[in-house]
Amino acid sequence: MSNTPQQIPDDQLSPREVIDKVLEIKNALVKNWIALLFLPLIGFGIGYALDGYLKTPVMYEAEVVFNLGGGSQGSGLGEMAGLLGLGSAPDANIFTGENFFYFVTSRPVMERNLMKEVTVNGKKEILANFFIDSSGIKQKEWEDRADLQKFHFTQNNVDSLPIQSRMILNELVAKAVKSTEIGPLERKSSFTQLSTTMENATLAGLWVTTLLTTVESMYTESQTQKTRKTLKLLEHRADSLARVLGKSEHSLAKELDYSSQLIVSDAKVTANSLTRKSNFLQQLYYEAMGNAEKMRVSLVREAPLFTEIEGIKVPLDSVKEDKKRAKIGVLAGLLVAFVFIYLRTILTPAPKVVATV
């Protein structure tokens, strides 16, 4: 067996060379400990100063947990609506899963919620105006727009708003969507959590509670749309029958008054015919009224049930911004220190070795 040591390739380091490199790095760090200490401290100081100068207001987090239950469907009522060509069963795929979460933050829902009248400190005002005054949009997004600093909506009908007001409402909707989150409470839970984070605690709590009411109202309108069309048709039919029945009974009353003065029985044929007609119309009218009443009951049974599991916390939790700039300053200072030590090490000439005899 040969005792010749194994040659190491040029592109690889021997264990001895690795140890030498580690010792060299250690010596460089120890030699430049002042830079390694003070540069991160300087970065921390700069970042801390920026955190204080660019300080953001305290944010408040409001959240509600609710459960969405589907309405029941009556088979008899469904058949009645089916005969009218409308049907009473809603499309279950419209508001299921992620579709419902998109619906909550959609533009129509946000617009209606912003245009609602709410009570703030005992005074009624449009929620959009309170949102403008308390959400920080005037201090941030509208900082350079002097014409909007005193803007307020004077009406809450979205369809009749002028074009400038509609554009401002679109900006409010965009900001509100960014501040609103909705999703499942837990992976295995059927509960849904609706939350928001805003600068004003009153606005945060009011926004979440009002939005939940708006979602429930619009969701119910969408789910019961076919049944409401059926009810409207039945009510129109009942009103038409009521008018025809009123005319028939008026004619019958006049004919009975006229025939009571006659002795010949043949003269009462017209009165008898009007009586049968009135009885038939009366029966149709009562049936139409009964069907309309059943459809009203169906609306209540079909309406989805929003059950609030957990309301907003009082007082709301405050969310303070983390000192991100100070942490970034420390990391930046540390990186600069490493670069400085590396450049100083490779650019500093090695000390000359004096040979001794």
DSSP H helical segments within 157-224, as ranges?
A: 163-179, 201-223
| Kind and range of the H or E run holding 65 | strand 59-69
pTM value is 0.62
Among the ranges 4-18, 83-97, 199-213, 257-271, which has the highest mean pLDDT value? 199-213
pLDDT value of position 206: 93
Three-class secondary structure of residue 58 per DSSP: coil
Residue 266 has pLDDT above 70, yes or no: no
First to last CA, the chain: 42
Q: Read off φ and ψ for residue 62, nearest 5 degrees.
A: -120, 135
pLDDT (mean) for 297-302: 73
> Where do we find the tokens 């009135």?
278
- Least confident residue range of 21-25, 136-140, 204-208: 21-25
pLDDT value of position 124: 92
Is-contact 134 200, C-beta < 8 A? yes
Nearest CA-CA partner of 215 in 194, 200, 184, 191: 194
Is-contact 65 310, C-beta < 8 A? yes
Spell out the residues 6+ positions from residue 26 whose beta carbon is closer than 8 angstroms to its own. none
How far apart are the C-alpha atoms of 256 and 67, rounded to whole Å?
A: 62
More confident position, 135 or 257: 135
Q: Which residues pair with 195 in a beta bridge?
A: 63, 181
| Residues of the chain by 3-state class (helix, strand, coil), percent to 5 | 60, 10, 30
pLDDT value of position 271: 65
pLDDT value of position 286: 80
Q: CA dist 158 to 109, 208, 251, 344, 346, Å?
A: 12, 21, 49, 67, 70
pLDDT (mean) for 181-198: 84
pLDDT (mean) for 81-109: 67
Is-contact 251 259, C-beta < 8 A? no
